[in-house]
Each structure stands twice: as structure tokens, then as C-alpha cells.
Structure 1
Amino acid sequence: MDEQREVQVKNPCHRPAFIILTAVIAVGIITMVSISVVQNKPLFQKYKYGIVLDAGSSHTSVFIYEWPAEKENNTGMVRQTHTCNVNGKGISSYSANPEGAGMSLQECMEEAQQKIPAHRHLETPVYLGATAGMRLLKMENEDASEKVLASVARSLQKYPFSFQGARILSGQEEGAFGWITVNYLSENLIKATGTLGALDLGGASTQITFVPKQEIESQDNAIDFRLYGNDYHLYTHSFLCFGKDQVLRLSLAEKFFSTLDKTDSNELRDPCFNTGFNLSKTYVDVFHTPCIKEQSASPKDFFHVGVGDWVECQNSVRKVFNTSNCGYSTCSFDGVFQPSVEGKFGAFSAFFFVMDFLKLTNGTLEEAKLKMKRYCSTSWKEITKRYPGVKEKYLSEYCFSGTYILTLLENGYKFTSNNWKDVEFIKKIKDSDAGWTLGYMLNLTNMIPAEAPDTPLMAHGGYVSFMVLFTLLVILLFFLAFLYYRRSTRTAQKDII
């Protein structure tokens, strides 16, 4: 019995030192887990901001973007938080009153001051990019365009932001930045599944940009980017004067100079406007644009009368496309080289707004033509009755605009019934507008690095889960070892007895 007591007393599991050591190990493991969780938990998010003004031909829009301050070189992190549409027409309309261009921006810029935290104002960059409307004004009157840009620059410098300049974008830049925007938002720039082509339509120009599978024969249409470690060789072209507003003028001019200008009549009968539409128009308001080279020897005002014949409308729209001359293996129109359109495309801006109104964003090309035929043949009286809340100027042009879009995509860019489904009409991607503005800001702030940013081995959630599970496993193994050791000790005691 004395020998058994001596063995039990010597059992290490019953010694205070062993118990204390076990407690210390357990506390240490718990502390390690707690520190790991606290150390790696997401901190309070700090945001940075950027402002881009899209000074288009028909209006100006102000976009506010935000992104996590510590993740500004990660793809898909920048998002649009606010949009403000400036009242009135585009800044190019202020050629006779340049100071009015700057004043027109005040309301939206004051709104931006309220939306962005005051402590971020001084570090928030502001960019203004002017597009085809200002490109046309520069062609017509360079001095006036410079005064308009100077006016908006002075206006933007009054606000407590970091003004980075106001400039006119080239058509190539507009197309390329639109491509960057849609692929950045879709996170295609870090995926190996391919990119999305970009189709943009404004009031004065239209752009097409995509990665072709064939060689780009015209270097004027080529642009290269290295983004997140990948090289992109893009085809891009911007057709100045082929935005929907300018093409409408071209179409009216063709009818005017071929018929009305040679007769005593003052009625211009137009198959692209609904039957019953009749509006008096001035010669200067319609034809005063650099896009119309020919001018009438005897300018006169006229009545624009709708006929509502879609087949004739499409025939008249086709006349604005010159497809007879091509010095390359393939062309779109006006002798411009274009590779075959392949892959998925995102069509945004006026492409979306017109097609969405006409409910043509889904379905086949043939179905879209049938719907357009029905819409154009509907009387103007019935159209105004169906859509009482739409401004008559925009409402009256939908037959023409829809026909132009179908003709541009099919006869201009050479989409067919087979790949029509590859064109997706989009307004937003992840709550951010599709367009050139985000791509423009990303490029100027260098937020898309040439090389892919380093990424941790595990995401935060995965790391914490791994640490917790691994620690629990260690504790479990320690506990099993303890039980095994205790059982072995008791067995040894019985053997001694």
C-alpha cells in the first residue's frame, strides 16, 4: 500500500506544475487566436473620391466615384456613387456666350461638395472631358472652343477640389476609355475568359472598340494597353458626325438638297417620322453644322412632315453610309478599316436609351425590325397618347433613332442575324454607368497598374477560419495526448499493484 501511494504521489498529472503548464498552454493558444482575429479584422473603411464631368454634345453630366483608400490598385474596387445632370445643353452650345458654359456647372458642383466629405475635398481630383460636340466646335471655330474650355476651367477652379484640367478628348480616347470602363466593371481585366467589346453612341459621334482576332491593317485604329499584367491590342474608331443627332441632320439635308431645294414646296416629307407629325423648322437650326459640307444656295425654312414608312426610312438612312470605297480587306463605312466583329459587345449611352424605350434590348434582329416597322407606322396622335410624359422632341425622333441604330449595327458595323445576340444593350454595370468617364479617371490616376497587384495567399475570412480550425485541432490533439498519457499512467499503476 505504501508503494502504491508513492506511485500515485509521483503521478505527473496530479502535480501542480503540470496543471499550471497546461493552463498556460491553453491560455496561450486562446490568446494567439484572439490576436489573429483582432489583427486581421477589417478596419474602418476609408474612402477616396474622384469627379469626372462628361461634357457631351447634348448635355453635361457630373459623376462622383469612390474607392477604398487602401485598395485603389485593385480591379473592380471603384464605384459610382452619384450622378448629376447639368441643366441645359452641352457646353459647345455656349460658343456665343462662353461664360455661360462655366456658370451652367455650378449647381451640380455644389451638389458634389455636399456628397463628398469635407475632409476629402482637397485631395479629390476633378477632370472635365469634352467629346464630339466640342470637337465639332473646334473644327468650326477654334477660338470659341478655347474660350468655352477656359470658362469651365475657371468655374471648376473655384471649388475646393483638386482641379486636374478640362480638355477635348480625341475620338480614339473616347472609344478606348469606354472599353476600359466596361471591362473594369465586369472584372474582365483579371479574368482569362476574354473581354467585352464597347459600342458607344452619342449625339455627335459613335465609337466601336474591341480586341480583334485578325491583324489591324490601319495603325490609326490601333491602340495598346498593358493592364494588370496583360497586353491588349485594341481596334478602335470614332465616327465624328455619326452620332444620332448629327445623322438626323445629315438625313434631313440629303432630302432637302435632293428634293425640297429644287422645288417651290416648303414641305419636307420624312418617312422616319410618324404620320401626322408636322413641325416648322428653320434652315439655320437644322443645317448649321460642320458635318454638312453642302449648303443650299437659297436657304429657306420648311415644314417637317411625317410619313411613317419604315422601309423607306431605312432606305433613306442607308444613304448616309458610304460603303462603295474600301482600301482594306474589310471596312465598316466611309472607307474605314474594321476587322470582323467577334465576341460579346456592350452597347451603351444612346444605344441603350433608344433601344430600351422601344423595347428592343432583347430578341433577334428580325424581331427588332418588325417592331420598328409597327412603331414607325403608328400615327403621331397615337404615339403622343401612349407616352404623355415624354418630351415631344425626343418622342418624335424615336422612329428615326431606332432605325438608325439597327442600320448602323447591321450595315455599318456588320453585325448579322447570327451574332446579333452577342450585342447586349447596357446602362449600368454594378450600379456604375457604362461610358468613358470611369476609364478616363482610372487612366489619369494610374489606378490600373501595368502589372497585376500582389494578393495575399488567403482572403481575410479564409485566413481567420484556417487559424481557428488549426488552433482547435492543436487543442484537440493536446487533449487526446493528455488523456492517453493519463490512461497510460493508470495502467502502469495497476501493473505495479
Structure 2
Amino acid sequence: MSAQREMKEKNPWPTPVTVIIIVIGVIAIVALVTVAVFQNKPVHQKYKYGIVLDAGSSHTALYIYEWPAEKDNNTGRVEQKHSCKVKGKGISSYASEPWKAGESLKACMSEAETNVPKERYRETPLYLGATAGMRLLNIENSSASDKVFDAVERALEKSPFSFQGARILSGQEEGAFGWVTVNYLDNRLKQGLLTTGALDLGGASTQISFISDNFDGSESPINSVNFRLYGNDYNLYTHSFLCYGKDQVLKMALAHQTQSGTTTVLDPCFHPGYNETKDYSALYDSPCVSARKPQGAPSKFEHTGRGNFQECQKVIRSLFNFTSCKYSRCSFNGVFQPDLQGPFGAFSAYFFVMNFLNLTDTSIPLEAVKAKLSQYCATSWDELKKKHPDVSDKYLAEYCFSGTYILTLLTEGYNFTAGRYSDVKFIKKIKGSDAGWTLGYMLNLTNMIPAEAPDSPPLPYAGYVSLVTVMTLLIVFLFLLVSLGALWPRCSKQTQIV
């Protein structure tokens, strides 16, 4: 007897071959994702280091920088690891005892050895850059300047680091490298963003550097510096005013008030009740004022404060020449300056003075800032000393003058008027690194900023892993479909004879 039966077969359990293919597919997925993740996972980072000594007019500071060793000429970010302020005055103050300039650096160099791994000593570059204090000493006594540098170089050559030499930076270099530092730390160079101007104030000079759309360098080539950084071209305006740092300009202000050889100076820039006996020889010991020393002046004079902000501004204005200008526009002393543009970062003495005076908030109207400073200058000397017992008399006495000078320099010298004063931000650090010229100087000497934009992966890390995972799953899924079609019986009708 024969019978016919229709049977629709359901998919059977996977055969051993199918199981093997599935297992292999799963293993492939896991392996591919694991490789992708671990391949792109940051490894234990090794670092390289650089050391820069900033030999300023009033003091010397040491800065240690570090960056990823694998990326030093590409995308690695340089960051400040450590800083050390050298005890004592700037190296230019050791002109009569040059050997002390080298000795003064020992303590900070010892700190550098502690903060840099020993295995990196020999490959760590060490630089010393001297600024306006040594520029003035070189003008006044080049032989003494050479002896100071000899002493400094002998001391640094004994260090375990790769000493690359000591030299005097020009004012233009100081301004330009400060601008590079500010914009590098704020990541404005690589992104090609609107740049930030740089305002630097030291003891012996002050610098202004910024990009302006109406400045191509043709009107005043001496103030022009061209950079090509990360594929972007920059035509930078920069100028350094020697003798207009806060210490030297104070000497000029006192020289202006002692031109008659007086024995008493009633100084509106010092507090009421302040009184000190000072030497004429110490006042006129700088090239910034030496030519102005009055004939037949007495050996000493009484320096007495009377604390008047408005009168102090008049004294400071007398140190600027606003009438002589052969260009389309000038800042002061006949120096060309294009129209101000963009935000500005004011650092070094700008920050320290205004921070002490609690005047770093530039959102406060300019007239309110002047009113607060006027009130501060009118404070009696005795009251001020009681309020700040931990501040030395020398520095405490000068804050009224320095604050008034900063306001006058910014608003009348550089033309940050009431409407533009808020464009200035008083800064000390940017993302943990000190604002100043030292980082820009090291970046330049070590070629850490490429002229062209560095290559970068087309996808970010997370996107890359996600894409690899999705593509892997898709490939395996298609592969399984093909395999199932070939190995698993299709649903069909079969006739069986019994």
C-alpha cells in the first residue's frame, strides 16, 4: 500500500559545520573589536622635557615643560610641569659681582633635577633668555654684561641637562613669543580661530603684540613679524618699549620730579605719610634716566608721599610723547600702532599689580576702576602697612604708582578707551601654564609648532571603534545568511512512498 503525505519541514537544528561557522564568526567579532579598542587605547605615556630660564630685570624664573615623547613634532601638547623663582634680584644686578649670577641659579637647577626623570637628563634642552634688564646693562656696560653671561653659562654647563646657551632676547622676540604662548595655550593657532593679543609688563620694558586686519607690515616693517603655524599665516604687529617697565618708569617719574636738584619731592604717586630718604646716585643709575641727572644735585633727597591719583596721572603722562607721529596713527613716542583688534591677555606685572589692587575685573566700568584706585592712593601709609603686614615696604609703597601707570599706559598709551577696556583680561596662567614668552621661545627653538597643519585621523577614536563594530556585525550577519542558505535545508514539500 502506498500513501502520499505532504510534509513541510521546519529548519533543523544546526549541523556541526554550521555551529563551527557561528563560533568562528563570534570569535572574529570579539577579536576585531578587541584589537580596535586596544590598538587605539592610550598606552602608558612617556614624556620629553624642556627647561627655560627667564632672566628678567627684577628676578629670574625657571620653567619646566613636558610633552608626549611619541608626538613631539605633531599633535602633542606642551604643558608646564614645574616652575621655580630664583631668590634674589635679576642677573643684571650682579654686574659688579658676576659670579653671584651663576650661584643664584643653583637652588632652582636642583629643583629641575628633581622634577625631570634622570633617564631624560641628557636629552632635555636647557635655555636661558635674558630680557630688558640685560639689554640695559649691555647698553651701559657691555663688558660687565659679557662677564655675567660667562658666569651664568659656566654654572649651567655643569648641570646634567643639554645646555643650549644663554642670550639676550630682542624686545620684538619677547613680544612675539609672548603672543605665541598665549595663543598656543588657548589652542587658537591649530584651530585657526580669532587670536588673542598679548600685553606683557616687566620691570624694565613692556610689550604689545596683536593681529590687526589693517596691518600688513608695509607702513612700519620694524614692527612686523610673520609666522606660519599649523598651516595658518599670521602677520603680527609687535613693539617693545624699553624703559617703560614698571621699575624703570618709576625711575623716570622720580627723575622728572627731581630735575631741579631738589632736596624734597612731594610725590602724588605715594601714600600720605610715606617718607624715605633716597640717594640721587641710586635713582640715576640706569641708562633710562642717567642723562637727566641734574648738575650739582645733592647726594640725597626726601621722598614724601601725598597720595593723589589725578596728580599722579599728570606726572605719568609727562613721560609719554603723544604729539610726534609720522605714521597714520601712533601709540606714543612716535611709534606706529594699528587699530586694536580682538581680546587681549595682560600678564606678568599687569596681573600681579592689578590682582593686589583687586582690580582684575575689567567688566567694571573704567571710571569705577579709577575711583577705586584714587581711594587706594589716598589711603595713609600707616593704615596701609597695618592692613598688609606681610608685604615688604618697598613693594607696598609702589602699588599706587604701578596701578596708575598701568591704567595710563593701557587707556592713553595703547588707546584702550572706556569702550575697549573690557577687551583686556588680566591673566596669570592659561590651563595651568604661566603666560609669558618662555613657552613660545622653547616651542620655536625645538620646532614644536609645524608650519603646516599636522595630519589627523579622519574619524575620532570613538567614531572609529563604532564604525568598525557596526561593519563587522554587518559582514558576519551577511556571511551567516549565505552560510545558512547553503547548509540548512529549505522549506519544501516532499512525497514519501510507504
Taking structure 2 as the reference length, the TM-score comes to 0.93
Query: Matched residues in 1 for 2:351 and 2:409: separation?
Result: 14
More deviation, 435-444/210-219: 210-219
Query: Matched residues in 1 for 2:341 and 2:404: separation?
Result: 23
Quote the residue 1:453 is aligned against: 454
1:353 matches 2:355: no
1:108 matches 2:108: yes
Once the two structures are superposed, residues 99-154 of structure 1 have per-residue CA deviations (whole angstroms, 9 ceiling, x without a partner) of 11011000100110011000000000000000000000000000110110111111
Quote the residue 1:382 is aligned against: 383
Does the 8 Å CA contact 1:76/1:185 hold for their aligned counterparts? no
1:319 matches 2:321: no
Does the 8 Å CA contact 1:12/1:18 hold for their aligned counterparts? no
Quote the residue 2:332 is aligned against: 333
1:285 matches 2:286: no
Does the 8 Å CA contact 2:8/2:491 hold for their aligned counterparts? no
What is the CA distance between 1:227 and its match in structure 2? Answer: 0.5
3-state secondary structure, aligned to 2:49: strand
> Compared with structure 1, are the counterparts of its residues 496 and 354 closer, same or farther at alpha carbon in structure 2 (3 Å cutoff)?
farther
Does the 8 Å CA contact 2:192/2:232 hold for their aligned counterparts? no
3-state secondary structure, aligned to 1:34: helix
Does the 8 Å CA contact 1:273/1:396 hold for their aligned counterparts? yes
Query: Matched residues in 1 for 2:78 and 2:280: separation?
Result: 46
Does the 8 Å CA contact 1:76/1:186 hold for their aligned counterparts? no
Quote the residue 2:133 is aligned against: 133
Query: Matched residues in 2 for 1:460 and 1:169: separation?
Result: 42
Query: Matched residues in 2 for 1:60 and 1:122: separation?
Result: 23
What is the CA distance between 1:323 and its match in structure 2? Answer: 1.1
What is the CA distance between 1:74 and its match in structure 2? Answer: 4.1
Query: Matched residues in 2 for 1:473 and 1:14: separation?
Result: 21
What is the CA distance between 1:230 and its match in structure 2? Answer: 0.7
1:267 matches 2:264: yes
> Compared with structure 1, are the counterparts of its residues 136 and 482 closer, same or farther at alpha carbon in structure 2 (3 Å cutoff)?
same
1:228 matches 2:227: no
> Compared with structure 1, are the counterparts of its residues 443 and 496 closer, same or farther at alpha carbon in structure 2 (3 Å cutoff)?
farther
Quote the residue 1:438 is aligned against: 439
> Compared with structure 1, are the counterparts of its residues 408 and 323 closer, same or farther at alpha carbon in structure 2 (3 Å cutoff)?
same
Q: In the alignment, residue 281 of structure 2 is paired with which amino acid?
A: V
Does the 8 Å CA contact 2:3/2:496 hold for their aligned counterparts? no
> Compared with structure 1, are the counterparts of its residues 484 and 374 closer, same or farther at alpha carbon in structure 2 (3 Å cutoff)?
farther
> Compared with structure 1, are the counterparts of its residues 271 and 33 closer, same or farther at alpha carbon in structure 2 (3 Å cutoff)?
same
3-state secondary structure, aligned to 1:208: strand
Does the 8 Å CA contact 1:64/1:82 hold for their aligned counterparts? yes
1:146 matches 2:146: yes
Quote the residue 1:364 is aligned against: 365
Higher relative contact order (CA 8 A, sep 6+): 2
3-state secondary structure, aligned to 1:190: coil
> Compared with structure 1, are the counterparts of its residues 14 and 310 closer, same or farther at alpha carbon in structure 2 (3 Å cutoff)?
closer
Does the 8 Å CA contact 1:204/1:244 hold for their aligned counterparts? yes
Does the 8 Å CA contact 2:67/2:76 hold for their aligned counterparts? no
What is the CA distance between 1:286 and its match in structure 2? Answer: 1.6
Query: Matched residues in 2 for 1:70 and 1:242: separation?
Result: 43
More deviation, 326-335/16-25: 16-25
Query: Matched residues in 1 for 2:50 and 2:453: separation?
Result: 22
User: Identity of aligned pairs, percent?
Assistant: 57
Quote the residue 1:243 is aligned against: 245
3-state secondary structure, aligned to 1:397: helix
Does the 8 Å CA contact 2:18/2:484 hold for their aligned counterparts? no
What is the CA distance between 1:3 and its match in structure 2? Answer: 9.8
3-state secondary structure, aligned to 2:292: coil
> Compared with structure 1, are the counterparts of its residues 28 and 135 closer, same or farther at alpha carbon in structure 2 (3 Å cutoff)?
same
Quote the residue 2:295 is aligned against: 297
Does the 8 Å CA contact 2:7/2:493 hold for their aligned counterparts? no
More helix by share: 1
3-state secondary structure, aligned to 2:407: helix
Query: Matched residues in 2 for 1:473 and 1:425: separation?
Result: 55
Quote the residue 1:397 is aligned against: 398
Q: In the alignment, residue 105 of structure 2 is paired with which amino acid?
A: L
3-state secondary structure, aligned to 1:439: helix
Quote the residue 1:177 is aligned against: 177
What is the CA distance between 1:14 and its match in structure 2? Answer: 3.2
1:411 matches 2:412: yes
Query: Matched residues in 2 for 1:33 and 1:15: separation?
Result: 27
Q: In the alignment, residue 235 of structure 2 is paired with which amino acid?
A: H
